[in-house]
């Protein structure tokens, strides 16, 4: 493709309070290259390649904010200082070749499985907004019939929000240029938004405003740490991992959620389209 046909694509863009060299972004893509949740040299090579390939902004694979939020093994985390050191090695290398990099922060909620090694190591139950399983989800790491395990309703969602705040602080210490909240693909934020997975009767469920509260409070915590350098990823069309509401309810919920999120002065919002191929799979990207 001739650059003359899309001249703006190759122009710098102010994103939050940083400037990226062009308007091409490398989206999050799960790689499963973090044994015991710690970043590796292979991961550094991968992200440097992305930056050298010309992307103005690279968004990492989903980085877990806690061990009990893991949907499978070999996903990276950012809850302790060894994680921070590993990610600092990567962000420094990306910056050295002229790239910018955001950390995508995630918690799987009910898409964790009680028999997963990380989940067992955490010593915590599988958490979700309500004790409602994700029906028909195929857990790639569980041999045989994984069933539809029933999660434990989160006693106090503020505990998880604080984990996202701490992860944001760690991401800043690790040298990331910003953070992105993974609110799509049936993960925990999406679970709070959808009334099929969230049937709480407290301030975190019931009305559209209450369903939106969890994700908005996480975004506020991120903004407290990173200012305008915060992104959000959602897929209102649903479909992933037993998610999705009727059209009118979806429009009402996501219109409110995205309007309130926009008031926080985010750097960007990413919308992903519905894809029937992923309806019953845990998809971490």
Q: Following DSSP, what letter does each residue of 85-149 receive, concatenated? A: HHHHHHHHHHHHTT--EEEEEE--GGGS-TTSHHHHHHTSPPEESSS---TT-B-TTS-S----P
Mean pLDDT of 211-224: 98
Q: How far apart are CA 51 and CA 101, in angstroms?
A: 9
Q: Let me know if residue 279 belongs to a domain.
A: no
What are the residue ranges of helices labelled H in the chain? 41-52, 81-96, 117-122, 157-173, 188-193, 208-226, 247-262
Whether residue 4 is predicted with pLDDT greater than 80 in this model: the reply is no
- Both tokens assigned to 57: 């902004």
Whether residue 43 is predicted with pLDDT greater than 80 in this model: the reply is yes
Q: Let me know if residue 79 belongs to a domain.
A: yes
Nearest by Cα to 30 from 165, 218, 185: 185
Residue with tokens 């305008």: 228
Range of the domain at 225: 15-273
Q: How far apart are CA 114 and CA 27, in angstroms?
A: 29
Q: Let me know if residue 8 belongs to a domain.
A: no
Q: Let me know if residue 54 belongs to a domain.
A: yes
The mean pLDDT of the chain is: 91
Residue 268 contacts by C-beta under 8 Å, 6 or more apart in sequence?
Answer: 15, 231, 232
Whether residue 96 is predicted with pLDDT greater than 70 in this model: the reply is yes
Largest CA distance in the chain: 56
Q: Let me know if residue 251 belongs to a domain.
A: yes
Q: Specify the pLDDT at position 284.
A: 41
Contact call for residues 111 and 218 (beta carbons, < 8 A):
no
Residue 169 contacts by C-beta under 8 Å, 6 or more apart in sequence?
Answer: 225
HSE-CB for 225 with a 13 A CA cutoff = 26
Mean pLDDT of 262-272: 95
Measured in residues, the chain has a length of 285
* Minimum mean pLDDT range among 21-25, 118-122, 160-164: 118-122
Q: Specify the pLDDT at position 6.
A: 65
Q: Specify the pLDDT at position 283.
A: 42
Q: How confident is the model at residue 213 (pLDDT cuts 50, 70, 90)?
A: very high
Q: How far apart are CA 235 and CA 118, in angstroms?
A: 27
Mean pLDDT of 172-195: 96
Which range, 129-138, 228-237, 271-280, has the best average confidence (pLDDT)? 228-237
Radius of gyration of the chain (CA): 18
Q: Percentage of the chain with pLDDT > 70?
A: 94
Whether residue 42 is predicted with pLDDT greater than 60 in this model: the reply is yes
Q: Which CATH number fits the domain that encloses residue 82?
A: 3.20.20.70
Q: How confident is the model at residue 100 (pLDDT cuts 50, 70, 90)?
A: very high
Q: Percentage of the chain with pLDDT > 90?
A: 70
Whether residue 103 is predicted with pLDDT greater than 90 in this model: the reply is yes
More confident residue, 65 or 143: 65
Whether residue 142 is predicted with pLDDT greater than 80 in this model: the reply is no
Query: Residue 165: left if φ>0, alpha if ψ -120 to 50, beta else—which one?
Result: alpha
HSE-CB for 104 with a 13 A CA cutoff = 25
Mean pLDDT of 9-33: 90
Q: How far apart are CA 109 and CA 92, in angstroms?
A: 31
Please, what sign has the CA dihedral across residues 234, 160, 173, 43? negative
Number of other CB atoms surrounding residue 248 within 10 Å? 8
Q: Specify the pLDDT at position 279.
A: 58
Q: How confident is the model at residue 151 (pLDDT cuts 50, 70, 90)?
A: very high
Q: Let me know if residue 188 belongs to a domain.
A: yes
Q: Let me know if residue 174 belongs to a domain.
A: yes
Q: Specify the pLDDT at position 282.
A: 45
Q: Let me know if residue 119 belongs to a domain.
A: yes
Q: How far apart are CA 31 and CA 161, in angstroms?
A: 25
Number of independent structural domains in the chain: 1
Q: Specify the pLDDT at position 273.
A: 77
DSSP letter assigned to residue 154: P
Whether residue 220 is predicted with pLDDT greater than 90 in this model: the reply is yes
Contact call for residues 198 and 215 (beta carbons, < 8 A):
no
Whether residue 13 is predicted with pLDDT greater than 70 in this model: the reply is yes
């Amino acid at each position: 493709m001739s650059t003359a046909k899309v001249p703006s694509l190759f122009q710098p863009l102010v994103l939050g309070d940083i400037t990226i060299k062009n308007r091409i972004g490398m989206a999050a893509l799960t790689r499963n290259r973090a044994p015991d949740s710690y970043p590796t040299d292979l991961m550094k090579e991968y992200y440097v390649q992305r930056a050298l390939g010309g992307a103005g902004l690279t968004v990492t694979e989903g980085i877990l904010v806690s061990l009990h939020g893991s949907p499978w093994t070999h996903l990276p985390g950012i809850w302790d200082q060894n994680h921070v050191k590993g990610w600092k090695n990567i962000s420094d290398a990306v910056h050295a070749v002229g790239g910018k990099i955001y950390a995508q922060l995630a918690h799987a909620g009910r898409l964790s499985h009680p028999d997963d090694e990380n989940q067992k190591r955490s010593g915590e139950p599988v958490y979700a907004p309500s004790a409602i399983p994700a029906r028909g989800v195929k857990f790639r790491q569980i041999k045989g019939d994984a069933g539809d395990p029933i999660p434990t309703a989160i006693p106090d969602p503020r505990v998880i929000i604080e984990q996202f705040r701490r992860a944001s602080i760690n991401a800043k210490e690790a040298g990331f240029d910003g953070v992105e909240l993974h609110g799509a693909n049936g993960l925990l934020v999406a679970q709070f938004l959808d009334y099929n997975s969230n049937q709480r009767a407290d301030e975190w469920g019931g009305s559209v405003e209450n369903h939106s509260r969890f994700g908005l409070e996480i975004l506020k915590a991120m903004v407290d740490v990173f200012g305008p350098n915060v992104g959000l990823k959602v897929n209102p069309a649903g479909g992933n991992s037993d998610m999705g509401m009727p059209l009118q309810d979806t429009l009402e919920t996501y219109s409110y959620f995205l309007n309130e999120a926009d008031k926080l002065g985010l750097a960007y919002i990413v919308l992903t389209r519905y894809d029937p191929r992923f309806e019953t799979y845990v998809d971490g990207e």
